[in-house]
Amino acid sequence: MDIGSSPEEMRFREECREWLHANVPAEKRPLDAADAIDFDKAWQRRLFDAGWAGINWPTDYGGRGLSIVQQVIWLEEYAKAHAPWIGANFVGINHGGPTLILNASEEQKAYHLPRILKGEAIWCQGFSEPGAGSDLAGIKTRGRIEGDELVVNGSKIWTSFAHVADWQELVLRTEEGSLRHKGLSWVICDIHAPGITVRPIRKMSGLTEFAEVFYDDVRIPLANVVGGLGNGWKVAMSTLSFERGTGFIADQVKQSQEIEELIAKARANGMIKDDRIADQLAQMRAEVAAVRAMTYRNISEVVRTGQPGPEASVIRLFTSELGQRLERMAVLLMGEDIIDFAYGSDDAVGDYLRGFAATIAGGTAQIQRDIIGERLLGLPKSR
């Protein structure tokens, strides 16, 4: 075990830092997805042109083919430089792309991967359903096979960026009468296809970042199935393992900035003299350090064995709850200024309200606890 960096890694870090210093946009990213879409696309294109998109993606599809450690270094420096969130490109870069790299056909990869990296194609997820949520195997949206097409009917919900997306990673039931995780398929869906209606949903923060999607006899070519008909569960699980693993490195750096800002603020307004507040800040500073240690341990595991350890769910759960504790503290330090919140504003209250998503999206904190109990401790399955 050691925490040192090789000279090559240190050079790479310096390279990242220099480019970010010169290129991070001065203007802020608009908060609402519809307002931010042009900004998100332009920023992604700039990252791609300079070689910073897909650092550990294969070079055949526009990536750099570098190591996961270099990807981590980039994400750390990215967050430290206060570079904008990749926003609408999140699903394509963090879920869709990595899933295609692992499971897609040569044609699918050659068409979609470069477009994702260049910010030309915005992707959204199509997993959750009104009746299912975190119960991914409860999917009811169905695709009936007709000739060389799937005819899709049903609906999806909580679909981030659906109203600004071009493509969707859609999981549906392609085998009539199949149960739970059997008979599902993972399909690339053109979100502009006839028969699709997208209804944006407003969040309690005032932003519209996600939407409900309805499918009425939508026709999708069978050639868009990824990983084979009926293998949707397996493909979807590989998508989620990215989300629960290294997808949260930037969050970790963001949290370490947040705790330092909170301590500075509590010193400035004197609230640090309250022992309970000082104690909570000390605790969170220790916890933020531990998140970094856990992330490094997880990355070390990937480098050593080729896959993230079973503790990825631990990181996911702990990070999401710690983030919310930080957001609550920020609001506590504001005092009654919380009352002045205006819909859609970019301040501590906005972060606090948006932060409720962290323990719900991508499997609720309760689902993560089930996973940890069953996979890490070997307790019997509740479901």
- CB contact at 8 A, 166 and 123: yes
Q: Does 282 bind another protein (CB under 8 A)?
A: yes
- For the bound state, the minimum distance from the C-beta of residue 256 to another protein, rounded and expressed in Å, comes to 12
Smallest gap from Cβ 307 to another protein, in A, equals 13
Residue in 315, 325, 323, 324 with CA at minimum distance from that of residue 372: 315
CB 143 within 8 A of CB 174: yes
Residue pair 97/52 in contact (Cβ under 8 Å)? The answer is: no
Choice between 53 and 281, CB closer to another protein = 281
**Pairing between strand 167-173 and 123-126?**
parallel
Q: Using only C-alpha atoms, what is the Rg of the chain?
A: 21
| Count of residues engaged in binding another protein, rule: CB under 8 A | 49
* 268 near another protein, judged by CB under 8 A: no
Q: Which stretch binds another protein (CB under 8 A): 36-44, 87-95, 215-223, 278-286?
A: 278-286
Write the DSSP string, 175-218: STT--TTSSEEEEEEETTSTTEEEEEE--TTS---EEEEEEEEE
Residue from the set 113, 311, 349, 362 that interacts with another protein by CB under 8 A: 311
Q: Quote the least distance from Cβ 122 to another protein, whole Å.
A: 34
Q: Is 243 a catalytic residue?
A: yes
**Cβ distance to another protein smaller for residue 164 or 281:** 281
Strand partners, 231: 184
By CB under 8 A, residue 303 contacts another protein: yes
Q: Checking phi first, is residue 62 left (phi over 0); if not, alpha (psi -120 to 50) or beta?
A: left
Q: Bridge-partner residues for 325, per DSSP?
A: none
C-alpha torsion 153→140→88→209, nearest 10? 100
Nearer residue to another protein within complex by CB, 168 or 368? 368
Is 299 among the residues that bind another protein (CB under 8 A)?
Answer: yes
Is the C-alpha dihedral spanning 85, 88, 94, 98 positive or negative? Answer: negative
Which member of 243, 258, 311, 327 is catalytic?
A: 243
Question: Is 4 one of the binding residues for another protein (CB under 8 A)?
Answer: yes
For residue 3, state whether it binds another protein (rule: CB under 8 A).
yes
Examine residue 2 and tell whether it contacts another protein (CB under 8 A).
Answer: yes
Q: Report the residue from 281, 330, 333, 349 that binds another protein according to the rule CB under 8 A.
A: 281
Minimum separation from the CB atom of position 29 to another protein (A): 30
Residue 270 CB, nearest approach to another protein (Å) = 14
Convert residues 7-26 into a mask of x (bound to another protein by CB under 8 A) and - (unbound): --x-----------------
* Residue with token string 């059997």: 182
Contact 289, 3 (CB under 8 A): no
CA distances from 270 to 275, 276, 282, 332 (A): 11, 13, 15, 13
- Residues in the site for another protein, rule: CB under 8 A? 1-5, 9, 69, 263, 272, 275, 278-279, 281-283, 285-287, 289-294, 296-297, 299-301, 303-304, 311, 314, 317-318, 366, 368-370, 372-374, 376-382
Active-site residue list? 243
